[in-house]
Structure 1
Amino acid sequence: MQTIYNTLNKIIEGMLVLIFSLLVLDVVWQVVSRYVVGQSSSFTEEFARFSLIWLTVLGAAYINGQKEGHLSMDFLLAKLPPKKQFKRHRVIQVIMAIFALVVMVIGGGNLVYITLKLGQLSPALLVPLGYVYAIVPLCGLIIIFFSIYHIKITFNPNSNEH
């Protein structure tokens, strides 16, 4: 499981760097084409919007996999004895996995299915919107994997990783 976790983190890191780099290039091209050429490109705004969606959702899944990455208020949790802290961490991970399953995988999967079934295309890039929204159920599955990983590995009181 550790190998899958490490590999998945490396893949997501690479995708985040690539998407962010493309977003920066896109915005720079938009500024250059608008102020130097005098006419902005028609696809740059839409591409920036779609890449920002992917960057945000994939970044949320990535941060979910990191132990100390999420912003949290754990003052009261830190006051609990270690055994109760582990139980609370497990409950939190189960709730996050259920949320990811219901909202992201099932809800996002329905959104992808409907938009692909209806044949909705983006106006400028003419990309099926189902492909743009496909990141939501994919990241839901990634969050579920990370939650299971944290339950089994990270928040194990007998493990040396916490």
Structure 2
Amino acid sequence: MNSADLLADAFGRVRETVHDAVRRLTPEELTERLDEGANTIAWLVWHLTRIQDDHIADVAGTEQIWTAQGWADRFDLPFPVRSTGFGHTSKEVAAVRVDSAKLLTDYYDAVHEYTVDFVRGLSDADLDRIVDDNWTPPVTLGVRLVSVISDDLQHAGQAAFIHGALRRH
């Protein structure tokens, strides 16, 4: 297994967790909060997908799937089109509403497909490319991809936890 295969496998695990977290949930359950300040499953999945979309498009030098494929219009959220959910308030979290889990998974799958196509084309040497020199040490492509995977899995795990809590109610 090479590095590209390893990264593709990791992103595949994110996909599995995302799908499991929203499976068989109603729109009401997707936006239910465990308490008044908690994130919702809809927001968590939307946010992790937006971050992945934003970061992969940035390192690939392409337009985000969010705008390129019309997902911003389909979601019709009350945020600027470039919003990823980073720094959202409780009120903004509550504003992420969907008609079905399918909207969330379809957007995630579009981003996932693009991501996997991108990482499968990488060589080990590509992973050493500096993609952000605002940090010390500068961030390489490999570090950025692992960071996205880590962030995705944390948010997908939170969504899975909420799913379990809702099902136990």
Q: Which TM-score applies when normalising by structure 1?
A: 0.31
Identify the structure with the greater helix proportion. Answer: 1
Q: Which has the larger radius of gyration?
A: 1
Q: Which TM-score applies when normalising by structure 2?
A: 0.30
Which one scores higher on RCO, CA 8 angstroms, separation ≥ 6?
Answer: 2
